[in-house]
Every structure is written in structure tokens, then in C-alpha cells.
Amino acid sequence: MKNIIEDELLSSTVIKNPDALDFDYIPEEIIHRDEQQRFLAQMFKPLLSNVAQNAVLKGPVGSGKTLIAKKFCKSISNIARKQGKTIEYVHINCRKRSTDAMVLLGVLNYFDPRFPDRGFSVQEMQQVLKKQLTKRNAQLLLVLDEADALLKKSGSNLIYDFTRFSDESSR
């Protein structure tokens, strides 16, 4: 007697690489985006010398902004590691974390998954983040995906604070 379910589950499929269907999948090569990747590399080259950089990726839904950001950030983090430097890459979806506190909590959870989700102000969380980066001798490469959701709900304070994040660290 055949087990129909087992036969189907273990049979071959027309999908060559099921990993490619995963939301977080990043292909080795991104076609038709060389110009954008080159532009980001030129723009963020100073980051390898500890000079802060900011960028906004704009484009229609489905144009590859998130994919380009993920691919670039993973690449620059790996290149920095080869040079003995640490760039910590954190990707936050601001539609899922639509307040300043939730964004910061997401960033801090990257460094410490047990960081408490209550009891700290936004300013206190920023100070904890600075201490984490100093302790690791690292720079933060933060992608705020869907940042318009954060701007609509919380305004631009946190984004401004992040653009000025390294101001006090040189003192």
C-alpha cells in the first residue's frame, strides 16, 4: 500500500532552488543593478575609514530597493571584516516597528536579544547603543526599510538623531 502523502512530499519538484522563494534570499548576482551597487559603493567608501554616511534609496514598489540594500550592506560588512574592522549591519522594517522606541529596541535586540522591551526612554536606548558599539569597536550600518511609515507615525527625530549619531563619539 502506497503512502500518497509521503510520495508527494518526497518526490522531485519543478523548483530548482526553493531557498530563492524565501523573503530574505539574496542571490549571488543581482542583474541590471550594477549602476546602483557601484553608486552605493562609491558613496559609502568613506565608511571603511570610519566616516559616517547616509543615503536614501527611492523607487517604486518592487524595484529592488530592499534587495540592493541587503546585498550592499552584507558585502561592505564582509569587506570591512577582511580589513580587521567591524561594521554591524542591522535591517529594521519600519512598517513592523513604526515608533522610535520600537526601532531602537529592534537595533538593541541585534546586540542583546535579552534587552528589556520596557523601562528605557529613547534617549537611554541610544546611549546603550553607543556603549554597545564602543565596546565592540564597531560602526553601525542601519537600514530603516519603509522609513516613510516611521516618519508618518513618529516624525523625523530618530532619523535625525541617527544622522548625528557619531557627533558626540569623537569628543
For residue 140, give the nearest of 115, 99, 103 by alpha carbon. Answer: 103
Assess contact for 158 and 144: CB atoms under 8 A: no
| Residue 91: strand, helix, or coil | strand
Count CB atoms within 10 A of the CB of residue 43. Answer: 13
> How do beta strands 138-145 and 86-93 pair?
parallel
Question: What pLDDT was estimated at residue 76?
Answer: 96
What are the backbone dihedrals phi and psi of residue 95, each rounded to the nearest 5 degrees, phi first? Answer: -75, -30
Three cell numbers at 131? Answer: 556603549
User: Is pLDDT of 28 > 70?
Assistant: yes
For residue 141, give the nearest of 31, 48, 57 by alpha carbon. Answer: 48
Question: What pLDDT was estimated at residue 155?
Answer: 76
**Paired residues of 89 in beta bridges:** 141
- What's the CA gap between 110 and 115, in Å, rounded? 9
Tens of pLDDT along 36-83?
A: 999 999 999 999 998 989 999 999 988 899 999 999 999 999 999 999
User: Is pLDDT of 123 > 90?
Assistant: yes
Question: What pLDDT was estimated at residue 94?
Answer: 93
Question: What pLDDT was estimated at residue 168?
Answer: 61
Question: What pLDDT was estimated at residue 163?
Answer: 86
Quickly state the pLDDT bin for 105 (edges 50, 70, 90). very high
Quickly state the pLDDT bin for 16 (edges 50, 70, 90). confident
Output the average pLDDT for the chain.
90
Q: What's the mean pLDDT in 136-162?
A: 89
Q: Assign domain 33-170 one CATH number from 3.20.20.150, 3.40.50.300, 1.20.1250.20, 3.30.470.20.
A: 3.40.50.300
Question: What pLDDT was estimated at residue 153?
Answer: 80
